[in-house]
Structures are given as C-alpha cells and as structure tokens.
Amino acid sequence: MEKQFLDLLVLLEKNQNIFKDQNVLILGDIAGANILKLLAHAASAHVLFDNLNAYSEALALFGYELKLKANEYSHEFEYKHLHLYFNSFENIAPKLNNITTLLLLLTKSKQNSAKLLYEANNCLQTNAFIYVAGANAKGGKSADSLLKSCSLSKPYKVDIARKCTLFACQYEQKFAQIKDYDSELELKLNEVNLKLAQDAAVFSYQKLDQGTQLLLESLADNKLDPKISILDLGCGCGVIALYLKALGYTNVSCSDISAKALNLTMHNAKLNNYELTLYASNMLDNVEKYDLIVSNPPFHDGIDTNITMTQNMFKNAKAHLNANGKLIIVANAFLDYLTVLKEHFDNVTILKQNTKFIVYQASI
C-alpha cells in the first residue's frame, strides 16, 4: 500500500465523524482495505473498488477468499451495513440512492475524478455532503477547484494532515457535466481498423500511446501461428488483444487488475464483434499458461518510477508460458529491461526500437 494512501487514511481517521449515521458512498482511488475501519458507525456504506488487490484485501477482513474464474470480472459482497463492489461505477449506480455523504478520493486522472463526481449526481439526496480528499502531490491542495467547476456552492477546507487535504461542500441541486468524458478512438494501423471506447480511468485516454503503437507494429511484423494462445497482460482498453484478433489470432485472452479496464475491454470487444476471454488478475496471479504473453507493463507507482512489479512478472513469466513460449513487451528506452530479462530468459532480442521505446522478445 503506497505511503500517500496511508497518509490520507490518517487525515480521514481524524474526521471519521463525517460518516456517523450517514448513508455513505466512497469512490475513487482506494488502495487498501483500511478505509473500511472509518465506516463502523455509518448507517450504510457503499464502497467501490477498482483495484482487485484492495478489494480482495477488504474481503479477507471478513474471512472471504476471492476466487474469480474466467470472464468473472466484477463482484459484490455484503456484510451487515457494508456493501462492497469490484466493478465500474456505471454498473452499480442504479442500485444506489439516498446517499447522504459522498467521499471521493482523488484519482491519478483529474478527468476521471470529475467524471466520478458527475456520475454520482443521481445517487445523492438534496443537502447531502460531498467530500473530496487527496494527497497534495496528487492535487489534494486544490481539490476545491474540482467542486467549484462542478457548480457546487461554497466548498471549504475541512482539514489538512500528512500533506493531504480534505474539502467539502453541500449538494444543492444537480450539477452540469464539466465535459463529456465518454469518447471513442478510431484506430487505423497497418490495415487494421478498430473502434475503441475510451475512459479517463484507463491508460492512454483518447490516444494510442507511442509505446503501444510500436508494440502493435512489431506484432504485425512478427508472423506467428494464428492458433497460438496469447495473453494481453494489463489489457487497459483492450487495444493489444483486439489488434491481435484483427490480425487473425483466434485464441486471445486479457487480464487486468482494474475493474474499469476489464469492463471497458469487454465493451470494446463487443463493439468490434470479437470474442475475448477476460481474467481479473494482479499481473500473473490468476491466469493460465500461454504460448505468448504480450504487455506494455506499468512502471509508475503514483508519481514515482517503480519497476518492481514488472521485474516480478519477468521472474514469474516462465511458469505461465508453454514450451517454446515467448514474452513480448514494450518499455521506455531508459528502463534497463534487457539486463533484467536476461536474468530470467535464455534468449532475449530486440524486435523494434526508436529513440523512446524498445520492444523486447524473451523466449524459453
């Protein structure tokens, strides 16, 4: 659990009286299960987790072990007054009403934070309290501007601690959407045409990032047996998997730790009339064995560079590859993945590169 989230919990614990006897909804960047301790005296509480690890950790507090099968990429759990969800907000919103206290934990994307705030519109009672909290380094210090931009009157600072800030305002009437964050990307690359619904919560919003484009170009050049089993690891909006389907590969699966990403990938598969198998998984924790694993792995932890998770994936990848299996990844050129990959694979080559990105292939 990142330090900024632990610091944020300290701030919220100081102010947990805001939840007492209230019908609470918590949205946003929930990185751990400790958030539930704040809700002991709420009348009811709905908590939406996007991160599979945090959701699993929350369920473990009640002795429940989460085991999701293929194409099970959402889940709900109830215990007394607590209602926990691993899902996209639009899927659970119809179940919510008469919320008297909303807490939004700022996400990495300002657009996503604004969208979540807008989407909660229909769940709130008149005169409900809206709280926005976040680490100052992630925009917490100026979170009142988010409330102002949503035409919410008189936001005020409730408290500040551990370089985190909590703002509040009272909900008076439905507020206008700041911007339409639901968009569609038209991808045309190497005679492949795809329509991709986009979401501010998912990586590479409204554009194809340069690293993924280089990876897709490499996959188009690297002709393989179309019947091989492939995993798009950390699928995001599903662009890699759907591109592979468009190239003629028939057995393609996807995995991601994010409920939003999985729901978006499935939506995009239907939008393009392709079938995919989806797994809710923290990297390789809950997937099978494949002939090829493809990924544009993350290297950020908050605002810091952190490749530990990707290094662990390299270490564990062999156990999820069939005989003669391959791992193909794209990475920023400044990351020394060639050295790390050679620690775990006998054969490592560079398939494609430019000044910013490198596509590596590692084989058993």
Of 144, 170, 196, the residue at which a domain comes to its end is 170
Of 141, 170, 199, the residue at which a domain comes to its end is 170
**Predicted structure pTM score:** 0.94
Residues 188 and 41 in one domain: no
Q: Where are the beta strands (DSSP E) in the chain?
A: 23-28, 44-49, 75-79, 82-86, 99-105, 124-135, 156-161, 164-170, 183-189, 192-198, 229-233, 251-256, 277-280, 290-295, 300-301, 304-305, 321-332, 347-353, 357-363
Residues 159 and 188 in one domain: no
**pLDDT tens-digit readout, 80-121:** 999 999 999 999 999 999 999 999 999 988 888 988 998 898
In terms of C-beta density within 10 A (0-12 exposed, 13-18 middle, 19 or more buried), how is residue 338 classed?
middle
Residue 178: inside a domain: no
d(CA 152, CA 277): 42
d(CA 288, CA 300): 26
pLDDT score of 303: 45
Residues 202 and 348 in one domain: yes
Residues 41 and 65 in one domain: yes
Structural domain for 129, as ranges: 3-170
Helix ranges, the chain (H): 3-14, 52-60, 89-92, 110-119, 144-149, 210-221, 239-246, 259-271, 308-317, 337-342
> Are 99 and 135 a contacting pair, CB within 8 Å?
no
**pLDDT tens-digit readout, 315-349:** 999 999 999 999 999 999 988 899 999 999 999 99
Residues 154 and 286 in one domain: no
pLDDT score of 260: 95
Give the residues of the chain that fall short of pLDDT 50: 300-305
Residue 80: inside a domain: yes
Which amino acid type is present at position 111?
Q
> Are 338 and 330 a contacting pair, CB within 8 Å?
no
Residues 264 and 166 in one domain: no
> Are 235 and 260 a contacting pair, CB within 8 Å?
no
pLDDT score of 290: 98
* Number of domain units in the chain: 2
> Helix crossing, 210-221 with 239-246: angle to 10°?
20
Residues 198 and 137 in one domain: no
d(CA 321, CA 30): 32
Residue 177: inside a domain: no
Instruction: Return the CATH number at 69.
Output: 3.40.50.150
- Tell me, rounded to whole angstroms, the distance of Cα 80 from its chain centroid: 28
Rg (CA), the chain: 21
